Amino acid sequence: MIFSKHMRNKKTIIISNRLPVRVERRDGDLHFIPSEGGLATGLGSIYQQEGNIWVGWPGFVPESEQEERLTREKLAELNLVPVFLTEEELQGYYEGFSNEVLWPIFHYRLSYAVYNTENWHVYQQVNKKFAEVINRQDPDEKDEVWIHDYQLMLLPQLVREDHPTIAIGYFQHIPFPPDEVFRCIPWRDELIKGLLGADLIAFHTYNDTQHFLNACTHLLGLPIQNNCLLVDGRSVYAEVYPMGIDFDKFSDLAKSTSIQQRAQEIKQYYRNRKFILCIDRLDYSKGIIERLQAYESLLQEHPELREQVVLYQLVVPSRDTVPQYRLLRDEIDRAVGHINSVYGVNEWQPIAYYYNSYPLEELSALYVAADICLVTSIRDGMNLVCKEYVASKVESNGVLVLSELAGASKELLEAIQVNPNSIDQIRQALKQAIEMPEHEQQRRMQDSIEIVRKFNVRHWVKIFFNRLHEIKTLQKQEMAR
């Protein structure tokens, strides 16, 4: 049966740079690999519903029209709509502008930013390309659009121009810096105006939200009341929605016999030494080098701990076409080599280092096995690794050492919190964690588990959409007045 436009149900369109399914070309065939990421799980129940869709880049560049058609057809079966990007577009929009301007500035690394007007133009063009793909989905004014993250900051306004009353939400997964830092970007005004096309602009923390609001008033002189900005007569809200994880997925996996067995194997392989776990995407914002220095200082100052501990560092490959990331990888190789060669003995290597992507099951076993999880981000929007660790501690043991500069520190108040720039604080925190009595571990971990369980990713999605709908109702009432 063909529905006329006004009879159609409301549809939800989710947009992010990457689709929740990655396409890979291997041995001449295309493979479609679902993402295990938090966003994919959290929004799974939404985009998989009939009529709803997720728009994004499929993670590869087709080599022929046939490959493009095949990808489009296969993804359509999953309610996914690909935005194909050329190598030049990826270079300018993704590597050049998103990851060499926005990423470093938003993580307070001013000296890492590379300003290039050509890349800015490509970023603009690609945001327009996303808007065109959305338009081809024939959105209706009663539909709702949820745009994710810094790669698409211009998109809310582009969608708004074509659909004046449609509900648009935007979520920023990375920090928003103070306005004096944000001001460094030559195209800062355009970026804010891009975001202001949304009705609800959301961040992980109160501070990020305030920084954004300050930028709006200081740079654009917009009138503001509490957290509401008046933009061309339209009320736009900036609010805090800390993202959660799929608690049940991690907790259930951790309870399963196979994962428990694998965790035992890992512990035995490392001879039941205190097992300190670090899992990070390769990124200078994660504080990997500083953490390794702190670990070295622990071994230096407390020689009695040598052979009693092992630091397991998993680095997940990422953005290795961006020069800063390649340099960091070499630096980590050198730091690990140095520590292992200076302190290691035949029977014991202080650091087990892997540069790889692991399946979820192996991550789960590592979380279960770990006595300590060490997260020392120099800046992090949220950090989900620490929440995954907490959800996996089904016996409420284990200690979380967490950077106070990660968004999660605002929620996980029972973690041992450290300033990640202080080698001394990280060393002391590690010592405290190693010696923490079981009853204190239990008390702290139970508190963290409650928070991660309650404020899970489904809760996050639910309250975000509830608020977006509420805002649309408020706007309609204002218009009617």
Residue 17 vs 124, nearer CB to ligand G6P: 17
Token pair, residue 429, equals 């925190």
Residue 100 vs 143, nearer CB to ligand G6P: 100
Minimum Å distance from CB 243 to ligand G6P?
10
Minimum Å distance from CB 318 to ligand G6P?
5
Distance CA(277)–CA(287), nearest Å, equals 14
Distance CA(96)–CA(28), nearest Å, equals 30
> Is 174 one of the binding residues for ligand G6P (CB under 6 A)?
yes
Token pair, residue 346, equals 């035949």
Distance CA(417)–CA(471), nearest Å, equals 36
Minimum Å distance from CB 16 to ligand G6P?
7
Q: Taking Cα atoms as reference points, which of 22, 32, 147, 18 lies closest to residue 90?
A: 18
Minimum Å distance from CB 99 to ligand G6P?
6
Distance CA(10)–CA(3), nearest Å, equals 12
Residue closest to ligand G6P when measured from CB atoms: 173
Chain Cα centroid distance, residue 472: 27
CB contact at 8 A, 173 and 204: yes
Residue 163 vs 173, nearer CB to ligand G6P: 173
What is the pairing mode between strands 224-225 and 274-281? Answer: unpaired
Residues in the interface with ligand G6P (CB under 6 A) total 7
Q: Of the candidates 107, 163, 173, 193, which one interacts with ligand G6P according to CB under 6 A? A: 173
Minimum Å distance from CB 385 to ligand G6P?
11
Tell me whether residue 342 is exposed, middle or buried, using C-beta atoms within 10 angstroms of its C-beta: 0 to 12, 13 to 18, 19 or more: exposed
Q: Where are the alpha helices (DSSP H) in 281-395?
A: 288-301, 323-343, 360-369, 385-392
Q: Which residues have CB under 8 Å from 232's CB, separation 6+?
A: none
Q: Which residues have CB under 8 Å from 132's CB, separation 6+?
A: none
> Is 385 one of the binding residues for ligand G6P (CB under 6 A)?
no
Minimum Å distance from CB 245 to ligand G6P?
13
Q: How many CB atoms lie within 10 A of CB 128?
A: 13
The residue type of 361 is E
Minimum Å distance from CB 365 to ligand G6P?
23
Residue 174 vs 231, nearer CB to ligand G6P: 174
What is the pairing mode between strands 228-231 and 234-240? Answer: antiparallel
Minimum Å distance from CB 204 to ligand G6P?
10
Residue 173 vs 387, nearer CB to ligand G6P: 173
> Is 319 one of the binding residues for ligand G6P (CB under 6 A)?
yes
> Is 375 one of the binding residues for ligand G6P (CB under 6 A)?
no
Within residues 437-456, the interface with ligand G6P by CB under 6 A covers none
Q: Where are the alpha helices (DSSP H) in 344-437?
A: 360-369, 385-392, 423-435
Please tell me whether residue 348 adopts helix, strand or coil conformation.
strand
Minimum Å distance from CB 185 to ligand G6P?
17
> Is 318 one of the binding residues for ligand G6P (CB under 6 A)?
yes
Residue 174 vs 191, nearer CB to ligand G6P: 174
Distance CA(203)–CA(10), nearest Å, equals 26
Residue 207 vs 260, nearer CB to ligand G6P: 207
Residue 95 vs 239, nearer CB to ligand G6P: 95
Residue 383 vs 475, nearer CB to ligand G6P: 383
> Is 18 one of the binding residues for ligand G6P (CB under 6 A)?
yes
Q: Of the candidates 149, 199, 208, 380, which one interacts with ligand G6P according to CB under 6 A? A: 149
Give the interface with ligand G6P as residue ranges (CB under 6 A): 17-18, 149, 173-174, 318-319
